[in-house]
Amino acid sequence: MNYKHIGGMEVSQFAIGTWHLPPSDKRYPDGILYVDVEKTEKIFKKAMDLGINFFDTANTYHGTISETHLHPEKSGNAEIILGNYLKDYNRESFVLATKVRAEVAVFHNGGGLSRKHISWQIRESLSRLRTDYVDLYQIHWQDPYTSGRETMDILNDLVHRGLVHYIGTSNHPPSSTKEMMNVAEKRGWENFVTMQESYNLIERDFEKEKASIAKEKSLTLLAYVPLAEGILSGKYSNGIMPGTRGSYTEGFKESVDKSKNQVNRFLEISKELDVKPTQLALAWILKMQEKLGINIIPILGATSVNHLEENIQSQDVKISDSTLRDLNTLAKI
């Protein structure tokens, strides 16, 4: 396993995400699938055996659906599963990241990035994760009603109270990210060390403006959906199967149809190189670290041990400059 740095903290080249964990056959009354905890824990164990020390979650992740706003029995379920598993390990041996922003209650101040909400939710996350602190606390997306100054103030406070070690941003407009970082710099507060954004071979909006911010401010990119929610694996070429991410992600079929030509050419290239599509997609991201001049940590959402092992082997895939050019042309198709 290769390792990178977030601030001065050493993290594995890959993180394990909890947005999409192995689903069970059991469903809640509203149809949402339960998480198969046994399979999930096998993946967590294999990840640690392979040298992964970095886990990413959020205060509203359930584990088989993106967000579960205002569902008390589901919201935060991924944090609970992760906390229950990691409780038997030395706390200093792994890096734990979570997020805050979503509405988790119907009453006023039930969501957002205010001092009040963040102060409440860090306590809730720590309780579910069964820990005294999180290594990385990220603001999940923008709150138009709270000033950047207020948010950065409370995040700085959490660091100095020992509840959080580092802070990061996610899904914020470039202007908002720069504004908050400028406020922190002027006041001598703790500042962002990561930027969590969607990034893969066919979703490259990050490169338009955010990549330059990350390079200038030495932010590590935590790349979620590095396989474009499985589209780059080729498994959706013949339709969307039940139980997959695509079966319950809104607008997914449109994404599959829109990227069809890109994916077909990508699959041809992977076959020419005798490399599995998932490995080539991840190897491309690792190669882009050099081109963009930043560290990138892909967040893996494996639902089986075999998938995880296959993904990790992408570290051994060497992409030549000519292959990189071929892959990068897919963005223009």
Active site residues: 61
SS (H, E, C) 141-176: CCCCCCCHHHHHHHHHHHHHCCCEEEEEEECCCHHH
Kindly give, in sequence order, each residue whose CB lies less than 8 Å from that of residue 2, ignoring residues fewer than 6 positions away. 12, 13, 315
Count the neighbouring beta carbons within 10 Å of the beta carbon of residue 100. Answer: 25
Separation of alpha carbons 23 and 50, rounded Å = 23
Q: Smallest Cα–Cα separation from 195: which of 140, 253, 262?
A: 140
Q: How far apart are CA 43 and CA 309, in angstroms?
A: 10
Q: Are 310 and 8 in contact (CB under 8 A)?
A: no
Strand partners, 99: 138
Q: Which residues pair with 299 in a beta bridge?
A: 15
Rounded distance between C-alpha atoms, residue 93 and residue 91, angstroms = 5
Closest among 112, 111, 33, 27 to 66, alpha carbons compared:
33
- Tell whether the torsion through CA atoms of 97, 101, 102 and 107 is positive or negative: positive
Buried b (16+ CB within 10 A) or exposed e, 316-326: ebebeeebbeb
Q: How many CB atoms lie within 10 A of CB 115?
A: 16
Q: How far is CA 90 from CA 82, 131, 164, 247, in A?
A: 14, 11, 17, 37
User: 94 with 86: CB under 8 angstroms?
Assistant: yes
